[in-house]
Amino acid sequence: MASPSVVIRKYPDRRLYDPGASRYVKLQDIARMIRDGVDVKVLDARSGKDLTSAILTQIIVEDARNQDTALPLQLLQQLIRASDRATHDFVAWYLNNTLEIYHKAQDIVQNRLFDAKSAVSSPLEFVRRLLAGETTPPPPDASEVERLRRRVEELEAQLARPTKAKRTPSRRSPARG
């Protein structure tokens, strides 16, 4: 599913307008939209020029002023040093890929935590989902899966059978020699 998107218009008086919501917005509103997963694009109201990068940079600078934490000093220095186009493109590519890898790692950790929680809270349901292929654990050995499937089917069949009166084994007296 695609993320919702919003186009913001920036007027010469430095005001930002969201035509979809018919209201003026502040930098904090745009930051909140982005944190909520909305793709925001900021355009100059007169020329139509894309100002998104400048506005997002402004949001980062404002956040750094209002908080004790900011971007690491080394990263900021490298961004300033990346003044030529090739270096700038490489830094942008590197940061985008690093963030993408970070998000994928977060997703994997979240999935593993979910799997672990479900295994602890409902082990039988977890095994059923595992055998049905509904989770994403590392691929087990195919023969092991087949053996487990057969064992589960045997156990289900045993549970489905009506219980019979238990037989007591007959005792034989030991043979005397």
51 neighbors 40 (Cβ within 8 angstroms): no
**Model pLDDT, residue 114:** 74
Q: Closest by alpha carbon to 6, among 45, 33, 31? A: 33
The model's pLDDT over 98-154, given as tens digits with 9 standing for 90+, comes to 888 888 888 888 877 777 776 677 777 767 777 777 655 455 566 777 888 888 888
What per-residue confidence (pLDDT) applies to 106?
A: 83
Average pLDDT over residues 70-98: 75
For residue 47, pLDDT over 80 is answered with yes
Of residues 51 and 2, more confidence is placed in 51
pLDDT-derived band of residue 9, with 50, 70 and 90 as boundaries?
very high
pLDDT at 129: 74
Chain position carrying tokens 């939209």? 33
pLDDT at residue 16, rounded to an integer: 95
Sheet of 5-10: strand order equals 23-25, 16-18, 5-10, 39-44
The two tokens of residue 103 are 């998000």
| Predicted confidence (pLDDT) per residue in 10-43, tens digit | 999 889 999 999 999 999 999 999 999 899 999 9
- DSSP-derived pairing of the beta strands 16-18 and 23-25: antiparallel
d(CA 12, CA 14): 5
Quick one: pLDDT at residue 119?
Answer: 66
Q: What backbone phi and psi angles, to 5 degrees, belong to 10?
A: -105, 125
Q: Is the pTM of this model over 0.85?
A: no
Question: Which candidate, 56, 57, 44, places its Cα nearest to that of 11?
Answer: 44
Residue 176 in this model has a pLDDT that exceeds 70: no
